[in-house]
Structure 1
């Protein structure tokens, strides 16, 4: 019998794997998974992906929402689906951002969560 401490990790792992499979099946582009456990109380993982157009972003997001529900992850909170420039899907353990490429480039949220290089910290 697994320990209670092990249950959240397997739940997080199941959610991340379901999300990544769904994104790949939907032909999402530039998929990046970032471990933010301990960096933010919002979630344990953040996944960022791109769709080619408004329609593709919406389709990728809708497919992901169904995949998470079918995997037993539960009902995710969703923002931005109507405009489909940037759709945020929050399942609790993971947060998935699906962007149109121009919007993703503008906000560049991956950079906020990456560890800065030593070169970036030096004064020029």
Structure 2
């Protein structure tokens, strides 16, 4: 979300995709400098599902669709992009696309989350952004080429 603070104005512009309801969960809080900042209300935060719940559903979905070599990487405290990253493989471009499509459907159905998805048409590497959980679904050759696990795994961890 992009937030523009305007000192003394009290109201600011925020841009968010239409499918998200983040703006309805924000309230304006004044700062001592006279500027305003948006804060998420406690009720909005408790109504949200936790990243661990989303991760559990992602892993169950990948298992249901026969994804292979599933690796989960905990990003908490290491990156602000997400709490978890999941990397897995499908045996073919068709399976990679199907795994991604079913995952997006299940997250929408169970949690009401609209996920962003990239690369489904090609089927070599599909990225699913479920906010707290980032999922990469690869064909095995493409996964071997990019080796994301090596980049994100903690130092000394075995892949």
Q: TM range, normalised to the smaller chain? A: 0.7 to 0.9
Distance change (3 Å), C-alpha of 1:49 and 1:73 = farther
1:61 maps onto 2:93 in alignment: no
Q: Which residue of 2 aligns with 1:35?
A: 74
4+ residue stretches of structure 1 with deviation over 2 A?
6-10
Q: How does 1:1-124 map to 2 (within 5 A)?
A: 7=46, 11-117=50-156
Show structure 2 runs of 5+ residues with no match: 1-41
Q: Give the root-mean-square deviation of aligned CA atoms.
A: 2.0
* Larger radius of gyration between Structure 1 and Structure 2: 2
Q: What CA distance in whole angstroms lies between the structure 2 residues aligned with 1:92 and 1:117?
A: 28
Contact 2:49 2:111 in 1 (8 A): no
Alignment coverage as a number of residue pairs: 115
Q: Which residue of 1 aligns with 2:13?
A: none
Q: Secondary structure at the match of 2:102?
A: helix
Show structure 1 runs of 5+ residues with no match: 119-124
Q: What CA distance in whole angstroms lies between the structure 1 residues aligned with 2:85 and 2:118?
A: 15
Contact 1:34 1:47 in 2 (8 A): yes
Q: What CA distance in whole angstroms lies between the structure 2 residues aligned with 1:60 and 1:85?
A: 12
Query: How many angstroms does 1:7 deviate by?
Result: 4.0
**What is the TM-score normalised by the length of structure 1?**
0.85
Q: What CA distance in whole angstroms lies between the structure 2 residues aligned with 1:89 and 1:109?
A: 15
Q: What CA distance in whole angstroms lies between the structure 2 residues aligned with 1:70 and 1:13?
A: 17
Greater RCO between the two (CA within 8 Å, min separation 6)? 1
Q: What CA distance in whole angstroms lies between the structure 1 residues aligned with 2:52 and 2:120?
A: 25
Q: What CA distance in whole angstroms lies between the structure 1 residues aligned with 2:72 and 2:112?
A: 18
